[in-house]
Structure 1
Amino acid sequence: MAASTPADTRIYAIGDIHGRADLLSEITGRIDDDIRRRPIKHSVEVYLGDYIDRGPHSKEVIDLLAIRLVANHAVCLRGNHEAVMEGFLQDPAILPYWLQLGGLPTLASYGIELNGDTDTAPALQRRFIDAFPREHELVMQCMRHQFICGDFLFVHAGIRPGVSIEHQDINDLIWIRDEFLDSMHQHERFVVHGHTPVPHPDIRHNRINIDTCAWRTGSLTCVAIEGSAVLFL
């Protein structure tokens, strides 16, 4: 492809994890092995968001990401699911919407089970706040909405076509679908994203989608980009 990373730089981008700590552990092992086999001066891990919900081990996923943040200076982008969970930590009224998005397994991974009609949203929020580790708060604070490296732009969902990168709306970066996915527009940078599940990595002239619905399919995608070459681990 025409887009390229800076010299001596390899980027590992990982798609939506959704509570599959087992798959994340496997992928980080592959990344570490790839770097051992193919040493390079600069390597960057970019996680594209949606670490929680739907799958069974959201807490364990955040634990693993905390390690990669510290040890590897990984870049963690904020997905729409993280945004909703953060919203619930601020406002218990968001609970029904979060549960529709698959928040129940996330609560369970933190040791919080719903007790039928006896649990109110404020009570669940208080229990969740008490169970939410300080280290996980710091991970959330470190999350970004976008990351640029060379000719590549990494975001969770996409961008609004025709709008410069510096003027993109944060909600679009984590929520947009059709306007971005249907666009043939040549963006300022080649976009690597997740958010919309696809059966296999979807490579277009202006973007790559690597959300392969890991929580359901068991397939978590990692793309290694070096120069203008793309390799799937």
Structure 2
Amino acid sequence: MSVHFLEAAGPEGVRIYAIGDVHGRLDLLARMHDLIAAEIERDRPADWRVIHLGDFVDRGPESAGVLDLLARRATEEPRFLSVVGNHDLGFLDFLAVPEPDGLFMNHGGVETARSYGVSLDARDPVALASGWTALEAAVPASHRAFLAGLPYSLSFGDFFFCHAGIRPGIPLSDQSRDDLVWIRQAFHHTGELHPKVIVHGHTPNAEPEILANRVNVDTAAWQTGRLTALVIEGVEKRILQAVARA
């Protein structure tokens, strides 16, 4: 059994907002939450969910603020949901073992550390060790617990939400964690329909990518100043964007 985007429907009576990669853009995430709150107040849907699709840290300037906001939202309102991204896992990995040539140090972790008031320098082992000690002390337990407790996927109605995508031909319940946060080519290059429409981020595009079998809402917010969400209500779907102020 498979489903096409045009026929796919969310659960009856539930509006869903699925938000793409944030990468430290607290300004855009806060603006997106404000837009969503205004719509919910205006339209009064029977129920709703806000799903964040991972990669909350690295590259952008305010990763610490992003995690603080998301951890607080998750505590205050259980309808705010998130799945984990590869950069989020890379952050946890670095806090456990300060690898100088891993994902975190090579792809935006310096900016994440800076958001906690810590400088990191991979060129000097002594300086890196000192920076790691400072970062390990600076990251609140609430941020670690939030990231460590995140699921790798969520499913609502005819939609399956994850960070990167799925391995085609494998049941959704049997997808590997590695694929859910890392896969690209094998997922992107298939036109076959899946048991559900896959809503994901991970691979930045200039515009949201809406295909028969998947929707990619990663619009490189940290660079473009545009954070994108897919809104699902029954069979109706639309795009919502938070745009940086000039």
For the aligned pair, the TM-score class normalised by the smaller chain equals over 0.9
Q: Once the two structures are superposed, what CA deviation does each residue of 1:54-93 show, in whole Å capped at 9, x if it has no partner?
A: 0000000111111221222211110000111111111122
Q: Tell me whether 1:92 sits opposite 2:98 in the alignment.
A: yes
Q: Secondary structure at the match of 2:45?
A: coil
- Asked whether the 8 Å contact 1:2–1:228 carries over to 2, the reply is yes
Extract unaligned runs of 5+ from structure 1.
Answer: none
Matching residue of 1:112: 118
Contact 2:25/2:61 (<8 A) preserved? yes
C-alpha contact (below 8 Å) 2:158/2:196 kept by paired residues: yes
Does the Cα contact within 8 Å between 1:162 and 1:185 map onto a contact in 2? Answer: no
1:18 aligns with 2:23: yes
Q: Unaligned regions of 5+ residues in structure 2, if any?
A: 1-5, 241-246
Partner Cα distance (1:125, 1:114) in 2: 7
Alignment partner, residue 243 of structure 2: none
- 1:6-50 CA distances to partner (integer Å, 9 max, x unpaired)? 110011110000000000010000000010111112100100000
Q: Distance in 1 between matches of 2:205 and 2:190?
A: 17
Q: Indicate if the aligned counterparts of 2:24 and 2:61 stay in contact, CA closer than 8 A.
A: yes
Mapped pair 1:28 → 2:33: yes
Q: Is the 8 A contact 1:55 1:105 kept in 2?
A: yes
Partner SS, residue 48 of structure 2 = strand
Q: Which amino acid counterpart does residue 29 of structure 2 have in structure 1?
A: L
Kindly provide the CA deviation profile for residues 150-209 of structure 1, in whole angstroms up to 9, marking residues without a partner as x: 110000000000000111110000000011011112111110000000111110000100
One of 195, 203, 223 as aligned partner of 1:216 = 223
Deviates more, 1:127-136 or 1:206-215: 127-136
C-alpha distance in structure 2 between counterparts of 1:205 and 1:97, whole Å: 32
The one-letter code sitting in structure 1 at the alignment partner of 2:114 is A
Secondary structure (helix, strand or coil) at the match of 2:61 reads: coil
Q: For 2:171 and 2:125, how far apart are their aligned partners in 1?
A: 49
How far the C-alpha of 1:121 sits from its partner, in A, is 3.8
Structure 1 stretches of 4+ moved >4 Å: none
Provide the C-alpha distance between the structure 2 equivalents of 1:124 and 1:218, rounded to a whole number of angstroms: 29
SS of the residue aligned with 1:220? strand
Amino acid in structure 2 at the alignment position of 1:133? P
**Aligned-residue offset at 1:102:** 1.0
Alpha-carbon distance in 2 for matches of 1:194, 1:60: 21
Between Structure 1 and Structure 2, how many residues are aligned? 233
Contact 1:76 1:142 in 2 (8 A): no
- Alignment-derived partner of residue 164 in structure 1: 171
TM-score of the aligned structures, taking structure 2 as reference length: 0.91
**Which residue of structure 2 aligns with residue 41 of structure 1?**
46
Offset from partner CA, 1:104-152 (integer Å, 9 cap, x none): 0000001101367364444333221110101112211331100000110
Let me know the Cα RMSD of the aligned residues. Answer: 1.4
